[in-house]
Structure 1
Amino acid sequence: MASKISELTDASGFIESNLYDYLLSVSLREPQVLTQLREETAQLPDGEMQIAPDQGQFMALLIKLMGVKRILEIGTFTGYSSLWMALSLPADGLILTCDISKEDTAIAQRYWQAAGMENKVDLHLAPALDTLNDLLSTGAAGTFDFAFIDADKVNYHHYYEKSLALLRPGGLMAIDNVLWSGEVADPTADDPETNALRALNLALCQDERIDLSMLGIADGLTLALKKS
C-alpha cells in the first residue's frame, strides 16, 4: 500500500488528506492485486475516474452482507470497482459490466485474470443503454441483486431507471459521484453533467419506489434499496 494513498486518488476531496490517509491506514484491507491496479490506473490521464479504495471496500462489504450473487455495473473503466466486487462474490457469482473502451477494459481484463476472477466477470463492450435494453427485452428484469452506476453523468437518470427495473425487490443500487466535487451545491455551476446530477438527486429524494441514503464517502455515493 502506498504511504500516501490520497496522492493516488482524486476522490478524497471532502476529507483532509492527512486524516484520509489515517482512515485508510487503520481500515483498508486492499489485496495486492487491487493495489497494483489502483496505482497503474492513477498514472493514466483520466485516472481520477477510479473510485477510492475505501469506497471499493465498502461496496465489497455490502455485497457480502447481502449475499449478492448477480451484479450489474455500468462503467467498467480499468476494472478496479468490478475486481473489488468480484472478490467478494461467492463461487457462483457474476458481474455483468458495461463499457465502450477497449483500451481501458484491456487493463481490467488483465487484472481480472491475474486475480483469478475472469470467470466471474461478463464484459459487454457496447453503449450501456443498448446492453440494458437488451437485458430487459430478454427477460432479465428483477434478476440482479446489486447495481453500481459510474459512467457518463448525462445518462444517469436513464441508467437509474433501467437498473431499477433489472434489480430484484430488495436489491441495492449504488450511484457514484452524486456530490460531483461539490459542484451540485454551487449555484454558478451550470454544465450538463452537474445539472443531470442535481436532477437525479432530486428525483431520487422523491422516488417512493426506493429507500434512500446519500453518503459523503469519496465523491458522494447514493444507496437506493428497491422496495418489495
Structure 2
Amino acid sequence: MTSTLGRHTARPITPHSILVWQLQQTLRTAEENNIPQEVLTSLRQTLQLAAGLDPYLDDCTTPESSALTALAQRTSAEDWSKRFSDGETVRQLEQEMLSGHLEGQTLKMFVHMTKAKRILEVGMFTGYSALAMAEALPSEGRLIACEVDSYVAQFAQACFQDSPHGEKISVEVAPALETLHKLAAAKQSFDLIFIDADKKEYVEYFQIILEANLLTVDGLICVDNTLLQGQVYLPADQRTANGEAIAQFNRVVAADPRVEQVLLPIRDGVTLIRRLV
C-alpha cells in the first residue's frame, strides 16, 4: 500500500496538483454559468487527464515499506499547526514537507543506481526520505541527516527505531550551513547528497558542497523543490521569496561549468547534478 500522503495532501503544493485544483475550480465555475456543452466536455476531459496522473504514478511505483507507511501516517496525524523554534527563528512546519511515496522511491532507486555507501541529507523533516534512502544502503552504509529543529529530529529518530535500517542514520541537529562547515572541516565526503532545507540557502549549500569537496568524484547531488509550485517559470511578480530563491538557484546551477544537471518534474521538482571537474 502507498501512504495516504502519497495520494492525498491537505492542499495542492506541486505544479501538477495546483493545476488539477485550478481545473476543478474552473470546471465548477463553467458548470454554473451556462458554458457551451462542448467547452464543458473539453474541460472535463482535461481534468480527467490531469487528475489521473498522480494516482497512476503511485500505482505503477513499487510500494513503500511498512516502516515508511507508518512514518507517513504518524506525520499526517501530528498537529503541525504548532510553531517550533530552531533556536533563533520560528518556522511553520506542515505535513506537506514530507517527501512521500513517489519521491522516496525515486531517491531509493538513485541510491541503488549509484551504489552509494555514504549519503548526506541537508534537511530531514520527519525522516521519510532519509529512511527511504537508508533502505537502499548496504549494511555498512551510513546516512548523515541535517535537521535544524530538535522536535522534528526526535520525532524522526523515534520512527527510525521501528525499522532495521534506522541504525544506518545519524542526525545532526543544527543549522544546515553550520553542519556543512563542520563536515567540510572534518574532510568528510559523500557519494550522494540530497538537499531539501532552507530554500534561501540553496546556492550556499551548492557552493560549499563543491568547494569543500563534500561530494565524491562521480557523486550525485539531488535537490528538491526546484520547480517550487511552478513559481520558477511564472512571471517574477508572482514569486514568493522562496520562489525567487529557487529561480536564482536554478540559474546558478545552469551557468556553472563545473556541473551538468537535469531537472525532473517529480512532485515539486527534483534536480540531479553531476560534478564534471
Q: Same fold (TM over 0.5)?
A: yes
Aligned residue number for residue 20 of structure 1: 54
Q: Is 1:147 the counterpart of 2:193 in the alignment?
A: yes
SS in 2 for 1:14: helix
Go from structure 1 to structure 2 and tell me whether the alpha carbon gap of 1:86 and 1:130 turns closer, same or farther (over 3 Å shift): same
SS in 1 for 2:69: helix
Go from structure 1 to structure 2 and tell me whether the alpha carbon gap of 1:68 and 1:11 turns closer, same or farther (over 3 Å shift): farther
Which has the larger displacement, 12-21 or 165-174? 12-21
Aligned residue number for residue 142 of structure 2: 94
How many angstroms does 1:93 deviate by? 0.4
How many angstroms does 1:133 deviate by? 0.6
Aligned residue number for residue 185 of structure 1: 233
SS in 2 for 1:28: coil
Give, in whole Å, the separation in 2 of the partners of 1:171 and 1:227: 10
RMSD of aligned residue pairs (Cα, Å): 1.8
Q: Deviations over 1:154-187 (max 9, x none)?
A: 0111111122330011000000001000111221
Give, in whole Å, the separation in 2 of the partners of 1:13 and 1:21: 15
Give, in whole Å, the separation in 2 of the partners of 1:43 and 1:208: 45
Which has the larger displacement, 115-124 or 167-176? 115-124
Aligned residue number for residue 127 of structure 1: 175
Aligned residue number for residue 29 of structure 1: 63
The one-letter code matched in structure 2 to 1:167 is L
Q: Is the 8 A contact 2:121 2:143 kept in 1?
A: yes
Q: Is the 8 A contact 1:34 1:84 kept in 2?
A: yes
Identity of aligned residues (%): 33
Go from structure 1 to structure 2 and tell me whether the alpha carbon gap of 1:126 and 1:189 turns closer, same or farther (over 3 Å shift): same
SS in 1 for 2:238: coil
Aligned residue number for residue 52 of structure 1: 100
Give, in whole Å, the separation in 1 of the partners of 2:64 and 2:9: 14
Q: After the TM superposition, which parts of structure 1 deviate over 6 Å for at least 4 consecutive aligned residues?
A: none
How many angstroms does 1:13 deviate by? 4.1
SS in 1 for 2:274: strand
Which has the larger displacement, 190-199 or 92-101? 190-199
Query: How many residue pairs get matched?
Result: 226
How many angstroms does 1:214 deviate by? 0.5
Q: Is the 8 A contact 2:134 2:165 kept in 1?
A: yes
Aligned residue number for residue 88 of structure 2: none
Q: Is the 8 A contact 1:69 1:92 kept in 2?
A: yes
Give, in whole Å, the separation in 1 of the partners of 2:176 and 2:134: 20
**Structure 2: 5+ residue stretches without partners:** 18-49, 81-93
- Once the two structures are superposed, the pairs formed by residues 106-117 of structure 1 within 5 Å of their partners are 106-117=154-165
How many angstroms does 1:11 deviate by? 5.3
Go from structure 1 to structure 2 and tell me whether the alpha carbon gap of 1:190 and 1:217 turns closer, same or farther (over 3 Å shift): closer
The one-letter code matched in structure 1 to 2:16 is F
SS in 2 for 1:27: coil
- The two structures have a TM-score, normalised by structure 2, of 0.77
Q: Is the 8 A contact 1:11 1:52 kept in 2?
A: no
- The two structures have a TM-score, normalised by structure 1, of 0.92
SS in 2 for 1:123: strand
Q: Is the 8 A contact 1:8 1:39 kept in 2?
A: no
Larger Rg, first or second structure (1 or 2): 2
209, 222, 231: which one aligns with 1:163 = 209
Give, in whole Å, the separation in 1 of the partners of 2:251 and 2:15: 23
Aligned residue number for residue 7 of structure 1: 8
Aligned residue number for residue 46 of structure 2: none
Give, in whole Å, the separation in 2 of the partners of 1:30 and 1:11: 21
How many angstroms does 1:8 deviate by? 3.6
SS in 1 for 2:75: helix
